[in-house]
Amino acid sequence: MAISVTFWELNPDIPPESIAKVAAKLMEKGLFPPEGMEVIGWYICPGGKGVTITESKTIDPAVAFRNWLIWVQEMTGFFKSYEILPAVSAAEAVQMVLTKPKK
């Protein structure tokens, strides 16, 4: 299982109605989320910045790439910025930091 957090910003030159139509179309077609990915959270803030939290069964970079690709193929210039990062729970991070590797 792999958790990813994607930070994105929509292109402010694209009207919100056009953005919403693209999202509805991709969901209706079953293209979002892409196969192999489950959306845990998908949030947007005023001004067009957002975050998506996803879980994949494998650590396959192709799944993350497809997630970006479906949007930009549907509408060129959809995102102003897009960054996807692997993530672990804070509890896991604490354990990793506090566990010293054996020499």
Question: Which of 33, 4, 32, 14 shows the shortest CA–CA distance to 77?
Answer: 14
Identify the pLDDT of residue 59: 76
2: amino acid identity, one letter: A
pLDDT: which is higher, 6 or 58: 6
pLDDT digits (tens, 9 = 90+) for 30-66: 999 998 899 999 999 999 999 999 998 887 788 889 9
Domain coordinates in residue numbering, the chain: 2-98
pLDDT digits (tens, 9 = 90+) for 8-23: 999 999 999 999 999 9
Superfamily of structural domain 2-98? Dimeric alpha+beta barrel (3.30.70.1060)
**DSSP labels, 1-27:** -EEEEEEEEE-TTS-HHHHHHHHHHHH
Identify the pLDDT of residue 57: 83
Rounded to two decimals, what is the model's pTM?
A: 0.87
